Amino acid sequence: MASVLKAVRGTRDLLPPETALWSRVEATARAVFSRYGFGEIRTPVFETTDLFARSVGEETDIVSKEMYTWEDRARAASEKAQSLTLRPENTAGVVRAYIEHKLGDTGMLQKLFYLGPQFRRERPQRGRYRQFWQIGAEVIGPASSGSESPIRDAEVIEMLAALLNELGIQGWRLEINSVGSSEDRQRYNAALREALAPVKSQLCEDNQRRAETNPLRVLDSKAPEDQHIINALPKIADYLDEASRVHFAAVLEALTACSVPYHVNHRLVRGLDYYTRTTFEFTVPPSEQDGSGLGTQNALLGGGRYDGLSEMLGGPKAPGIGFAIGEDRLILALQAQAAEVPEKKLDAYIAPMGKAQNPAALSIAKELRAAGLRIEVGDGAFRLKKSFEAADKIARRIVILGEDEFKSGFYIAKDFATSLQRLFTREGLAKALKQKNWQINDPLIRSSDPLKQTVGLRMPALMLLADAKSALSNEELRAFLALALGTPLRDLDQEIIDNMTSQLAKENLVIGSNLGWQITASGRIHLQSEMRKDETSENTD
């Protein structure tokens, strides 16, 4: 037998019903971004390797060991082979596109958001994948457009707080820092190198390498054995120039004005080299505390300012700020916090009784779907029991479509949650299925046709809640009673109908009490007794 193929390590399939939560998150993000004036950008999934080396930085973990890179062969003598890379993040691609399409020439601030997969060859674990999804946004433009202003930083962060709140993420925490200008960082790097030199040999292997090549990255390290050394290192706040200090203070002031709570974290330098000034992350408490579902991967999102990035990529001066949310992590956090998943069950399952009813079932399903209902259609080859079982799993209600129903123009629908069964006309069906909750005393589904005002329940008998008696024609009454009594239409003779009709005239006369319903003189036909358990074999309660 052929071996079974599986998704590649660190990648996964997202399936329904979970994907409904992904859609809800994405729809909410789009709605929030649009309120803040962002438009969508879609950049390619792969770019030249050089783009990431120059922006994210050669010495970062991402570029030095996590990228999926390949030599793309030249296909013609005139072509050169080039090194390509699956994007590990999207900021570099957005800034490349900004430069390539001369978006700066508009003189306007560009507010762009994106949504899509990113690729990093990290060690997979819960909340960390090799293909993961980001929802991100960038605000970028010439300095004259106000792109450098601290109000942009605060606006982006406030938008994130609004988005997380709207999604129902609980207990988020905003950590914020300033990594200053590139000159500040050079001075700080020198100070770090100096402070690290005497303790370097005590650090883990990775941090020893970082201490040499890019000491700032030591601050990102989560290696537990190195934390006491890292905590004692100089703080970047002491190396900021006046302009960066003033900028950071203004960002914090604006956040306070918007009531966005923050925690300044001097170690938050972030793992990408393009950052200048503001950096931030939103975290949720690790799972031990409240079940965020994220464990150690508790950074929901990260972002910051990158005022020199455009120039690093050969573009014009274009200060910017942005962020990317780890959508996989956001979903895990929402699931752990038991966020409401959208209603999973379909509105109804149409069960044709017999193959001959299949076309009619499909045509009713079409009508109901056109009315906005979510419908599944069974198969007339299924036995009633099987239809009920299938329906109960995926739908809130079942509509039985037998020959009698079809001929009489009435359909029986059962609500699984309440066990209520009601009788509807074809026209009334969509409206009734749209009703969230059925109650025994529900007002009737009204229509100008008195017969269609009839709503009923059958099982163990048909129970009716109707004002319809007075205006029923014999023909209508026949069809109705046939269903009520479970008698084929042809067996209902005039005598029974006359009998019923005359009884209707008497006060509080109970007709068919054994069947559980009664008709009063006012014509109201109502429930005689509590709903009893469906005694038929198709009952699935």
Q: Interface residues with ligand HAM (CB under 6 A)?
A: 89-91, 120, 122, 127-129, 132, 134, 136, 138, 271-272, 299-304, 322-324, 326, 328-329
Q: Quick check: 113 and 38 in contact, CB under 8 A?
A: yes
Which residue number, 26 or 122, has a Cβ lying nearer to ligand HAM?
Answer: 122
Inter-CA distances, 140 with 179, 306, 324, Å: 19, 9, 15
Question: Quick one: which of 249, 125, 87, 119 has its CA closest to 178?
Answer: 249
- 502 secondary structure, DSSP code: H
Based on the number of CB atoms within 10 Å of its own CB, is 539 exposed (0-12), middle (13-18) or buried (19 or more)?
middle
Residue 341 Cβ vs ligand HAM, minimum distance, rounded to whole Å:
21
CB of 156 to ligand HAM, least distance (A): 9
- We find the least distance from the C-beta atom of residue 332 to ligand HAM, in angstroms, to be 9
300 vs 348 by CB, closer to ligand HAM: 300
Q: Which is nearer to ligand HAM, 91 or 244 (CB)?
A: 91
Return the DSSP state at 529.
S
Please say which residue, 279 or 453, places its beta carbon nearer to ligand HAM: 279
Q: What is the rounded CA–CA span in Å between residue 242 and residue 229?
A: 28
Nearer to ligand HAM, 104 or 136 (CB): 136
Nearest-Å Rg of the Cα atoms of the chain is 34
Q: Which amino acid is present at 498?
A: D
Name the residue whose CB lies closest to ligand HAM.
326
Which pair of structure tokens corresponds to residue 197?
A: 């030199």
Q: Are 114 and 316 in contact (CB under 8 A)?
A: no
- Kindly tell me which of 220 and 476 has the beta carbon lying closer to ligand HAM: 220
* Of 109, 38, 54, 99, residue with least CA distance to 320: 109
Other residues' Cβ atoms within 10 Å of the Cβ of residue 35:
11
Tokens at 452, concatenated: 């269609």
Residue 98 or 323: which CB sits closer to ligand HAM? 323
Cβ proximity to ligand HAM, 96 vs 329, nearer residue: 329
CB of 408 to ligand HAM, least distance (A): 57
CB of 446 to ligand HAM, least distance (A): 53
The nearest distance, CB 152 to ligand HAM, in angstroms, is 12
Residue 86 pairs with which residues in a beta bridge? 46
Beta carbons of 225 and 243 less than 8 angstroms apart = no
Q: At what angle do helices 494-504 and 474-485 cross, to 10 degrees?
A: 100
- How far apart, in whole angstroms, are the C-alpha atoms of residue 515 and residue 527? 10
| Cβ closest to ligand HAM, residue 299 vs residue 364 | 299
3-state secondary structure of 168: coil
For residue 324, give both structure tokens. 């990317």
Contact (CB, 8 A) for 119 and 86 = yes
Cβ atoms within 10 A of the Cβ of 122, count? 17
Is the CB of 322 or the CB of 380 nearer to ligand HAM?
322
| Cα–Cα dist 185/182, whole Å | 5
b (16+ CB within 10 A) / e for 136-171: bbbbbbbeebebbbbebbbbbbbbbbebbeebebbe
Residue listed under structure tokens 């009619």: 360
d(CA 477, CA 469): 8
**Min separation Cβ 23 and ligand HAM, Å:** 19
Q: How many Cβ atoms sit within 10 Å of the Cβ of residue 399?
A: 28
Toward ligand HAM, which CB reaches closer, 301 or 391? Answer: 301
| Smaller CB separation from ligand HAM, 163 or 462 | 163
What DSSP line would sit under 29-60, residue for residue?
HHHHHHHTT-EE----SEEEHHHHIIIIITTS
CB of 329 vs ligand HAM, minimal distance in Å: 5
Closest separation between CB of residue 186 and ligand HAM, Å?
21
* Shortest spacing between CB 68 and ligand HAM, in angstroms: 12
Cβ atoms of 252 and 260 closer than 8 Å: no
Nearer to ligand HAM, 67 or 477 (CB): 67
Instruction: Specify the residue for token string 């979510």.
Output: 374
Question: Residue 202 forms beta bridges with which residues?
Answer: none
Output 55 or 453, the one with its CB closest to ligand HAM.
55
